[in-house]
Amino acid sequence: MQPETNRQTIDHHSLAEKLARLGEPSAYRHAPARVDIVETHMSYVFLAGDRAYKMKKPVRFAFLDFSTIDAREADCREELRLNRRLAPQIYLAVVPLTLAPSGDMSIGGEGEIVEWLVEMRRLPAERMLDRLIADGSLTAKNIEALAERLGEFYAAAARSAMSAHDYVARFFREHTETCRIVTMRDFALDHDRPRALLDRVERLLVAQTPALEARVRERRIVDGHGDLRPEHICFCAPLAIFDCLEFNAQLRQVDPFDELAFLDLECDCLGAPLAGAAIVAATAERLGEAPPRPLFALYGACRALLRARLALAHLLDPAPRRKDEWAPLARRYLALAEARLADAG
């Protein structure tokens, strides 16, 4: 739904007010029986009957700035555009949260716009890849369907204009930031072991720089999904791959095998390494190529280190959510990074 031209976008209503109102069924025209709220690092998702609405948090990080309502609207529209590539049936519209003269807030009502949200069809949780893995119900047919969809997507995806220098520099830049976070003494880690691991990954980065540059010259780098995890894949009809990384175009410029290494990593983290390997193999067959083993190992190790770093970064927040989860998760990803290095040959 597009806002009326005489509406004015304003940004002076508190987050608490918006959360309280969007938690009420009467805020929605379709009047769901209840509304459940899921909080993520950068958003709130309101599960309202057969619909889900995502509202960006008014936050600012080094990699994004959602501190103004105009920035949040722009990101909502970009999220809609990009996710329609792999889940066109799920992403419906960008809708306003409005404030009527009476003082009532509602989705798509009359009055001033006080926030923007992405409206989506609600997906069946039991058909998500992570749930199928947990239930032991992932089938070969599921894997073939996913590989076919990913193969089609990567074959048709826009090729990146990123230079070989910039592509390689991003890996070293991310590694430097990972070293900074992971080697902090604030966390419950065996600090000698991560330091040795980080040094090994840096040596592999240097050794694989020619291979990384070759991937760019061969035009293998695409505008991809950017956050390909099991919880972002739903085996509904048709299959939906959603929640792509929309807020930073540079981070979406990826080698398809980098994304597949990430998906493989996340399947392994869920205790299903064979599922991840099968998805990679089936997709590689459709793409008609596979990267050299050391390069794929590098991609997986870098992804694992990034996940460890992001887990630990939560503990640097003034009031971290689920505080007790992050250090054990970081240790898990560090172990997975070591396993990837063992595959480098």
pLDDT tens digits along 127-148: 999 999 999 999 999 999 999 9
- CA–chain centroid gap for 225, Å, is 8
**d(Cα 261, Cα 266) in Å, to the nearest integer?**
9
Q: What is the pLDDT of residue 1?
A: 35
pLDDT at 3 over 90: no
SS3 228: coil
pLDDT at 8 over 50: no
Give me the residue label for tokens 């970009």. Answer: 78
Number of helices (H), then strands (E), belonging to the chain: the values are 10, 12
Compute the average pLDDT of residues 83-101: 97
More confident residue, 216 or 9: 216
Q: What is the pLDDT of residue 247?
A: 94
What confidence category does residue 187 fall into, taking pLDDT thresholds of 50, 70 and 90? confident
Query: What string of DSSP letters covers 25-91?
Result: GGGSTT--S-EEEEE-SSEEEEEETTEEEEEE-S-EETTEE--SHHHHHHHHHHHHHHHTTT-TTTE
Residue 343, Cβ neighbours under 10 Å: how many?
A: 13
- CA–chain centroid gap for 41, Å, is 11
Which tens digits make up the pLDDT trace of 39-71?
998 999 999 999 999 999 999 988 889 999 999
Q: 308 and 337 in contact (C-beta within 8 Å)?
A: yes
SS3 328: helix
pLDDT at 11 over 70: no
